[in-house]
Amino acid sequence: MQNAQHPYGALTPDTVIDAVESVGLFSDFRQYPLNSYENRVYQVGIEDSAPLIVKFYRPNRWTSEQIQEEHDVLLMLKDQGVSVAAPLSFHGQTLFEHKGFFFSLTEKQRGTPLEAGDLDQLFAIGELIGELHHATESWQTQHRPNIQASGHIQQSSEFILHSGFLPKKLTSGYQSLIQEVLTLTTKTQQNSPAKVRFIHGDCHRSNLLNTDNGLVLLDFDDCRMGMAVQDLWLHVSDSDAKQQQLSELIEGYESHHSFDTRELDLIDVFMAERHIAYSAWIAERWADPAFPTIFPHFTGEDFWRQHVGDLEEMVRQWGKWR
């Protein structure tokens, strides 16, 4: 299992305040940690002003060029009127470094979480993603990796197999299941359109906020090149109503940008990829003390039996999105 020293041990409350003040702001020393697993995010009070959100990027995950590329597209989207939470600029910069941590600041967004399966909200989500994809139609990332699903599945499953978390009694069945998933993935990708474009990359419900001015899209930390459907399918919350939910999403999307429905066949690929990669991500981050607290059942056999069972069900349901 992983024993590497976790990267946030040096991110003390004083370091947070010092980082914020290093850009020329004056803090009132109030800070409140916000829900974030991969990075660390805080609301920090500012003297005689509204509090700001400061995001500290996980060390050694992205280069400064990769983070700046994220910032550049967010500023471009904001200029075009797309509702996103863009980084603030100080002295002509949006990305800063303090004591080994890259960080950025944004305005605090006030709103409420979205409700799973709400058809009106799904239409609005589709609209916002359609706006995003229309505005970035010609955008090409230069520094962000274009992750291939089959390679990501292979890499993540290998990490799981060598991590020590998967019970030995499940290993043989898991290996066979991964091979079946990879075969299905290859076949599905060969028969689907291959138009790669800029995507948010992690567009689930928690990365959207319902404000008085409409939806706001948050956290482009995983933005990259990919397929349009990858920004849509995570909003399908009920397998029994998936056709209706997809219909609302696509109808909203196509009010701003065309959608190739052949991409729906790829949902099975991306669902399996995310399921496998998610468990590998927890295993890889286990040395971060936040992870054992957030995922206390990860080391138990029940977790892994559920993981394998869910993957088996995905294989059984493969090819039923259209």
Amino acid (1-letter code) at residue 279: S
Task: Please state, in angstroms and rounded to a whole number, the distance separating the CA atoms of residues 253 and 316.
Answer: 29
Q: Are 192 and 264 in contact (CB under 8 A)?
A: no
Separation in Å, CA 290 to CA 9, 38, 228, 295: 11, 10, 32, 9
Task: Please state, in angstroms and rounded to a whole number, the distance separating the CA atoms of residues 322 and 318.
Answer: 11
Task: Please state, in angstroms and rounded to a whole number, the distance separating the CA atoms of residues 313 and 154.
Answer: 19
In DSSP terms, which residues pair with 52 in a beta bridge? Answer: 44, 107
Task: Please state, in angstroms and rounded to a whole number, the distance separating the CA atoms of residues 92 and 307.
Answer: 46
**Catalytic residue, candidates 28, 48, 79, 202:** 202
- Active-site residue 14, yes or no? no
Nearest in space to 33 (alpha carbons), one of 50, 10, 9, 16: 16
Task: Please state, in angstroms and rounded to a whole number, the distance separating the CA atoms of residues 130 and 136.
Answer: 10
Tell me whether residue 39 is annotated as binding: no
- Active-site residue 238, yes or no? no
Q: Are 20 and 52 in contact (CB under 8 A)?
A: yes
**Catalytic residue, candidates 18, 48, 120, 219:** 219
Tell me whether residue 48 is annotated as binding: no
Binding site as annotated, residues for Mg(2+): 207, 219
| Catalytic site positions | 202, 219
Binding site as annotated, residues: 207, 219
